[in-house]
Amino acid sequence: MPILDSHTIEFFSRSPEQTRRIGMRLGNEIKAGDVICLQGNLGAGKTTFVQGLAQGWGSQDSVSSPTFIIVNLYRRANGDQLFHLDTYRLESISEAEELDLDSMLAEGALIIEWPEQLGELIPEERLWINLEYMADEHRQMRFNANGKRYDELLDGIRQSMFGVA
């Protein structure tokens, strides 16, 4: 786990299960109002990562890519909500505006695949994760925190995985 600076961590995964476990660590830390952006090519492991994230967050729901329906909603037993967006198929900013991200953020946490499709609609403060295919099942994940809340998320991950903040 290279710590590139106080706002950035890099992870290397050697299997889908390891990618899910890293997602679980993040899922343990997120709460309503959080924005997690997942960038990466097709097959980079974004949905696999979200499967772990949702499990770590406490969802019992099955996680799949919302490519064709745009938004999946996952719930915890206490009613908390996690919104999983895949904006790959959006063709314009006006389509993105119809999603009403502000309403979703008021009700839960937001996980966005293909966030670059949303342009300036993405809140400035967020956790941006770039997933990159390396070889076979190997992936590189770079977490970049934008804002105090997301620095705290990275600190929580460092603490839970390595005992250091």
What is the largest distance, in Å, between two alpha-carbon atoms of the chain? Answer: 44
- Radius of gyration of the chain measured on its C-alpha atoms: 15
Residue 34: the pLDDT is 97
- Token look-up 């809140």 returns 123
Query: Average pLDDT over the chain, rounded to whole?
Result: 90
Looking at per-residue pLDDT, the higher value among 98 and 58 belongs to 58
User: Which whole number is the average pLDDT over 133-154?
Assistant: 93
User: Which residues lie below 8 Å from residue 93, measured CB to CB, with a gap of 6+?
Assistant: 118, 119, 121
Looking at per-residue pLDDT, the higher value among 91 and 27 belongs to 27
Q: Return the structure tokens found at 74.
A: 């996952």
| Per-residue pLDDT band at 6 (split at 50, 70, 90) | confident
Structural domains in the chain, sorted by start: 3-162 (3.40.50.300)
Question: From residue 19, how far is each of 61, 66, 72, 160, 164 by CA, in Å?
Answer: 18, 19, 20, 16, 21
pTM for the predicted model, two decimal places? 0.90
Q: Return the structure tokens found at 109.
A: 């946490």
| Per-residue pLDDT band at 165 (split at 50, 70, 90) | low
